[in-house]
Amino acid sequence: MPLHVRALCFAVLCLVTSVRADFTCAPAGWAITAVFPSEPKIDDQRTPTPQGDQLAERRYVESAGEHLMVLRVTYPVVPVATEREQLYVSTIEAFMNSRRGQIKQDEPWPLGQYDGQRLLVAQPAQKTHREVRLVLIGGSLYFISAEWPGSERSSKTAAAFLASIDLRPDFTNARLVEDRERWREIKQGNFTLRYDGCRWFRDPQVTDPNSVAMLRVDEMAEAEFITSPERHIGPMEDVVVAKAKEHAESVTVKKRGKKLRGASMVEELFFSVRAEGVLYENHGYFYSGPEGTVQLRAWSADKNYARAAGDIDELLGGLKITRPPAGATAAAR
């Protein structure tokens, strides 16, 4: 090969290898996208809390003294828009305590219909500057950070990264997203419970695969969602009352009824339980049929029941029963 051809090939190769390999980061379920200068590393962590696990999903690139990061935090209890400012304050406090610096700029940062916050922080110990952006979208907090050495003026890489932050198309309508994100589902066989994640959370201490314990956020009310693939023969009231009596001083059924959940008719019970000297009011839906057996009930101390009753009714209304495939029926017991 002639020398000049080799030189031309080498020059072309150098040109090709010098082109930045941008990587669009768009994990499934995320509301935002970001463009990194290269494929980011992944670091996901679960932190146990009394209300369940808090999940932090981090995508980051570190190169030549620059640090680019997007972090999504998902909470066991869905934060609502009215809690946004307090969430930003607590997040910024934790951030500043973990790494000392001087806040040079602090201003609103709108992202579509969402009200975010932007900070520019000088970090003298590291001789760097860092731009941080926070935005609550649905039930997740997004923490975006770009750090570079030198002056307040961001590097080209940091500026390009920050400018690339964008919303995914199905997250542009803030009102629809907030409503969609707050509702969560628990599926157990042919039974599904849809509940408001801003008002209720699963008790992480209960690990029985067929039993889910739930608490209202202020713990003024509790609930349980128990399922079985087997079919019970006879009234469900007998099962419910017998079970309640195992741990109660007295059980009094106050009202009986029927409710249609989809194509299935469930038993509805209102009953009082006295345990350890405290009176609890209970409201529940109970069913057994070809789909299996389900018990969904919620309760609150008598003195608190009036305030919790609306949330209890809404929770019970989230029960869905799915018909089994033709020929598939629950075993009787």
pLDDT given for residue 213 in this prediction:
97
pLDDT classification of 98: cutoffs 50, 70, 90: confident
Digit-coded pLDDT (tens) for 185-223? 999 999 999 999 999 999 999 988 889 999 999 999 999
pLDDT at 333 over 70: no
Co-location of 187 and 144 in the same domain = no
Co-location of 189 and 107 in the same domain = no
Co-location of 124 and 205 in the same domain = no
pLDDT classification of 2: cutoffs 50, 70, 90: very low
List the CATH number of the domain containing 94: 3.40.1000.10
Co-location of 158 and 195 in the same domain = no
CA 35 to chain centre: 24
pLDDT at 5 over 70: no
Domain limit, last residue, from 172, 201, 234: 172
pLDDT given for residue 325 in this prediction:
73
pLDDT at 32 over 50: yes
* 327 in any annotated domain: no
* 329 in any annotated domain: no
Co-location of 48 and 89 in the same domain = yes
Co-location of 188 and 312 in the same domain = yes
**Do residues 68 and 156 touch, judged by C-beta distance below 8 A?**
no
E strands in the chain: 23-25, 32-36, 41-49, 52-63, 66-74, 102-111, 114-123, 128-137, 140-149, 166-167, 183-188, 191-196, 200-202, 211-216, 222-228, 250-261, 264-275, 278-289, 292-301, 319-321
Digit-coded pLDDT (tens) for 282-307? 999 999 999 999 999 999 999 999 99
**Domain total for the chain?**
2
Q: How far is CA 272 from CA 218, 246, 254, 319, in A?
A: 21, 14, 7, 22
Q: Which residue in the block uniquely carries the two structure tokens 């009714």? A: 313
pLDDT given for residue 36 in this prediction:
98
* 271 in any annotated domain: yes
Mean pLDDT value of segment 105-129: 96
Co-location of 129 and 244 in the same domain = no
pLDDT classification of 330: cutoffs 50, 70, 90: low
* 177 in any annotated domain: no
Co-location of 33 and 134 in the same domain = yes
Q: H helices within 72-189, ranges in order?
A: 84-98, 156-163, 174-182
Digit-coded pLDDT (tens) for 228-259? 999 999 899 999 999 999 989 999 999 999 99
Co-location of 62 and 130 in the same domain = yes
* 14 in any annotated domain: no
pLDDT classification of 324: cutoffs 50, 70, 90: confident
Co-location of 156 and 42 in the same domain = yes
Domain limit, last residue, from 172, 204, 229: 172
* 261 in any annotated domain: yes
Co-location of 49 and 77 in the same domain = yes
Domain limit, last residue, from 152, 172, 192: 172
pLDDT at 13 over 60: no
* 2 in any annotated domain: no
Domain of 186 in residue numbering reads as: 182-321
pLDDT at 8 over 80: no
pLDDT given for residue 329 in this prediction:
60
Q: Which amino acid belongs to residue 15?
A: L
* 118 in any annotated domain: yes
pLDDT at 326 over 90: no
Task: Report pTM.
Answer: 0.82
pLDDT given for residue 327 in this prediction:
61
Longest dimension (CA), the chain: 100
Co-location of 110 and 190 in the same domain = no
